[in-house]
Structure 1
Amino acid sequence: MFIEPHIKGDKIGWIEVICGSMFSGKTEELIRRLKRAKIANLKVEIFKPAIDTRYDAQDVVSHDANAIASTPIENSQTILLLAQDVDVVGIDEAQFFDDEISEVCEKLALRGIRVIVAGLDMDYLGNPFGQMPNLLAKADYITKLHAICVVCGNIANISHRKTDQMGQVLLGEKDIYEPRCRKCHQIKP
């Protein structure tokens, strides 16, 4: 369970990372935390990579159709420019951002901002994805979520790709990916 630190005096920032496979509820959890921050009257800014237009070009949207307004951006440095005078920054699909994303999050935390990042920790082959390992190393709090394996019903930690298409980045939903456990990931579709 996540416990927010008690703040005395100067604002203290930190980095929270929500990770796991597709269909594990990462974006759902990100939206939940950001909505709670808004209820607390904190100033919140939310960002997502411009390439992620699966559900909406603008909003961050979960697979369950929960949504929150966001700003699509091309590179992580833009976050530093746009996140002025805020209390909380939310970042979805962090694995798609450039190599600077972990440093951007560190700079935001040093400004006294709570940074909540969600992303896939592994790609469809089960290898670390993008800058997520660096974000996990810098995180003050980590929440690892699991889906349910569609083959055997155990916990799933890999976003199994159902197509032969190669390349680490291939945007898709249930038509292209399904959650699988380690064992069932080895079984070809």
Structure 2
Amino acid sequence: MIYTENTIHETANRGSIEVICGSMFSGKTEELLRRLKRAKIAKQQIEIFKPAIDTRYSEIEITSHDRNSIPSTVVEHSSNILLLASNIEVVAIDEAQFFDMGLVDVCQQLADQGIRVIIAGLDMDFKRNPFGPMPNLCAIADDVEKVHAICVECGKLANYSFRLVSTNDKQVMLGELEEYKPLCRQCYIRLNEKK
């Protein structure tokens, strides 16, 4: 294919959906921040969103477990993202598992408008069930990257977020190292049998 100025412009405005998923402590937000840093270097207009429920480190910033952060816009409902994403080239969404199922259509609309959408979130809850809109987002994504933590029991790659607090059976429970730990399949099964 011969690239002309028009084809390069068309390629630059082609929308896409990128999903970064994995367990807790796997570096999802770090990877999201890395991609946003590159977009900033490229002088692209970016907007970052997070769900209102996620107030662990900051009410207004996306913050990784390593305490790296970037200012973000807090939204209650996924439909708010469409209203706030005008004249934007890159939309980033962190903790996507906490959003409503409408997020799937929102991301599809943004990508169809030529916007690059980068999403980070847990693909499974502590019971190893698909979490919120994440499975559907993975299905419509142009690119899915599954990142892994390290199992704190044996040192293998960890896929699962094991909940240490057994008094709460709700799917959504914000927490950190005191409430969760990353485990591989074998260690997850072994420790679940002990509960």
Question: What is the TM-score when the length of structure 1 is the normalising length?
Answer: 0.95
1:167 to 152, 167, 170: 170
Per the TM alignment, residue 35 of structure 1 is displaced from its structure 2 partner at its CA by 1.2
Q: 2:184 aligned to 176, 181, 185, which one?
A: 181
Task: Report what 1:116 is aligned to.
Answer: 118
Q: CA deviation at 1:9?
A: 3.7
Give the total of aligned pairs: 183
SS at structure 1 position matched to 2:190: coil
The answer for the alignment partner of 1:129 in structure 2 is: 131
Q: What do residues 4-59 of structure 1 show as CA deviations (whole Å, max 9, x unaligned)?
A: xxx63432100000000000000000011011101110000000001100000000
Letter in 2 for 1:149: C
Q: Residue in 2 aligned with 1:17?
A: 19
2:3 aligns to what?
none
Q: How does 1:1-189 map to 2 (within 5 A)?
A: 8-10=8-10, 11-164=13-166, 165-188=168-191
Corresponding position of 2:4: none
How far off its partner does 1:134 sit? Answer: 0.2
- Larger fraction in helix: 2
**Which stretches in structure 2 are left out of the alignment for 5+ residues?**
1-6
The unaligned stretches of length 5 or more in structure 1 are 1-6
What percentage of residue pairs aligned between the two structures are identical?
60
In the TM superposition, what whole-angstrom CA distance separates every residue of 1:104-126 from its partner, at most 9, and x where no partner exists? 00000011000000000010011
Question: TM-score with structure 2 length normalisation?
Answer: 0.92
Q: CA RMSD in A?
A: 1.0
Whichever residue aligns with residue 8 of structure 1, its letter is: I
